[in-house]
Amino acid sequence: MEAGHQPVMPDEVLGTLAPQPGSLQIDATVGGGGHTERILEAATPDGRVLGLDADEAAIERVGRRLARFGDRLVLRRANFRELADVAPGAGFAAVDGLLFDLGLSSFQLADTDRGFGFRAGGPLDMRFDATHGVPAAELLETLSADELAALFRKYGEEPAAWRIAKAIVAARPSAPVRTAEDLAALVERVVPGNPRQPRRTHPATRVFQALRIAVNGELEALQAGLEAAVELLRPGGRLVVLSYHSLEDRIVKQFLNAERRGCVCPPEVPVCVCGRSPRLRLVTRPSLTPTAAEIDANPRARSARLRAAERLAA
């Protein structure tokens, strides 16, 4: 097992993608390379993988760790929202399998300079790609309390959004929130727990999730990535998505359902006018979740949900 990041639901991912020798696969979120490595092994001797990640450090690390696969592994630092351009440019215009394993890796969580984890003492950044966009600390410094509360509600479904937003703005003159540790401590102070009801997660989990989603434009990227993925799959090719919270899972579920039905006309239209036909067939009905044994061995897998579909002939 590679140190740092254990791939989630590896048997289910491999069983669904079923990569064959000679096949072409895309891992849109290569991370620590755990799934990519297994796909390459299963597609021995000549199956190939295009691995993308928005994070340059992930691409460099995987390039070193999986160098033994030679030109069977092609790596690109790119956001998967650019998949429609990046994949054909790398020679992967029509593929047999495509994997999205959403969110962040244990490497990113452990890197105290990036601000993803509650105990990170460095700057609160949270960007997967530090060359684009604005760091999370800048949002906390510049947005109004109303805007912050709306962000925590929309992307974190945080019930105490307004109280937390007000406290962040009030702290600006004397003790501005600059690090992940500052933010985690502020939320703990503002939303005290009930000592008789031990919490299963840190009280700042939803606020951290909301900021990460906003900073990286994660939900918009997911929608664009899924749309590109359907275009890239060959008939019979498989799309597998691992999501970790309800906002991303909802997007995946709605997308797969729309592509399974084909017609996107509103229900009040009596006869189809969109002319679209189904492009996907669901292969997990409705979804898979990790076994208790996997969650015991890898608590990060706890919230994972796998959905998969197969591309139909055009």
103, 115, 237, 290: which one binds ligand SAM (CB under 6 A): 103
9, 14, 104, 191: which one binds ligand SAM (CB under 6 A): 104
The neighbour count for residue 57, using CB atoms within 10 Å, is 16
Q: Apex CA 223: angle with CA 280 and CA 41, to 5°? A: 65
118, 128, 152, 155: which one binds ligand SAM (CB under 6 A): 128
Nearer to ligand SAM, 81 or 206 (CB): 81
Handedness of CA 115, 210, 53, 108 (dihedral sign): positive
- Going from the C-alpha of 180 to that of each of 41, 176, 207, 242, the distances in angstroms are 38, 12, 11, 26
Give the shortest CB-308-to-ligand SAM separation in angstroms.
Answer: 15
Contact between 155 and ligand SAM per CB under 6 A: no
Contact between 221 and ligand SAM per CB under 6 A: yes
Contact between 208 and ligand SAM per CB under 6 A: no
The Cα 96–Cα 94 span in angstroms is 7
Site residues for ligand SAM, 10-69, by CB under 6 A, read: 29, 31-35, 52-55, 58
Nearer to ligand SAM, 53 or 182 (CB): 53
Task: Tell me the DSSP string of 26-42.
Answer: EES--TTSHHHHHHHHH
Instruction: Find the residue with minimal CB distance to ligand SAM.
Output: 31
Which residues does 33 contact at the CB level (< 8 Å), separation at least 6?
A: 2, 51, 61, 62, 65, 66
Contact between 253 and ligand SAM per CB under 6 A: no
Task: Kindly list the residues in this chain that would bind ligand SAM in the complex (CB under 6 A).
Answer: 5, 7, 29, 31-35, 52-55, 58, 79-81, 101, 103-105, 128, 221
